[in-house]
Amino acid sequence: MADVIQRYLEDMVPELEDLEERNVISKSERVSIIKRRTRFEYAIKRRQPHKLDFLRYIEYEDNLDKLIRERRSRLELKGGKAGKLSRGDYSGQQRVCKIYERAVNRFHGDVKLWLQYVEYLKQKKATRVLSKTLARALQLHPTKPMLWIYAAAWEFEDNGSIVAARAMMQRGLRFNADSKELWVEYFRLELAYMEMIRRRRIVLGIGKEAAPAGKAARADAARVSVKEETEEKDALDQDVIQLDMVEPKEPASVRMPCGAHR
């Protein structure tokens, strides 16, 4: 265990030296960072680590990343030579993601931890990693309605795809047909989409509630409308989140005896 931790600490030395050379952190702060990370690494590497150890480590690295970004911005405003973006500027977010990965691998049954991870990725706009992480979470926990609801909301609200959002809800209902929460959220999704269509019709000048709108607004709304019509014609299973799951099998058909004729 000590060799693994030592190798990890040696890998982070160049990025800390880079930050020190650009006056983003001081020498004493570099030494303090190494000591704190060493303690965190030993805490999460023990035989039975606690979830709180991972969360404290994540919180420390996230706060450190924010501090480094603020200091770099201040140096640029003061005319200092912070230099081009280098490894030290990007390592904070990458390290937080790696700690989250280690945490969800260790506590893969904790749905709240998965949601906390994808929420962090959403804040950082790491769309590709978020999509893959959500797919893994849904594969491990297909009977958890809250994950399907989160995935559908992300597809509709952030990616603007009602087709993918419906596919998420429908897949979730295949595994959770008796979930009242999932049915209610599916109904709310359709209501939100209907409201969006109603407002678009107003902008386009269609219907009784039509209001005057500029040519640019009508053109934008028309383009969006055509795009959605094209998406609707595609297969509903073409999600942004690619899932590879075993669907529930239908019961085999029952053969009638040879003599059982009407």
Give me the tens of pLDDT residue by residue for the chain, a chain 262 residues long. 677 788 888 888 888 888 888 888 899 999 999 999 999 999 998 888 999 999 999 999 999 999 998 888 887 766 555 556 666 667 889 999 999 999 999 999 999 999 999 999 999 999 999 999 999 999 999 999 999 999 999 999 999 999 999 999 999 999 999 999 999 999 999 999 999 999 988 888 886 555 454 555 555 555 555 455 555 545 444 444 555 544 444 444 434 444 444 4
147-to-110, 141, 150, 153, 251 alpha-carbon distances in Å: 12, 8, 5, 10, 27
Sign of CA dihedral 124, 127, 129, 131: positive
Residue 107 is predicted with a pLDDT of: 96
Residue 196 is predicted with a pLDDT of: 92
Q: What is the pTM of this model?
A: 0.75
Per-residue tokens: 220? 């934008």
- Tracing tokens 């491990």 back to the chain, one arrives at 140
Residue 72 is predicted with a pLDDT of: 85
**Residue 172: other Cβ atoms inside 10 A:** 26
Rounded distance between C-alpha atoms, residue 185 and residue 220, angstroms: 29
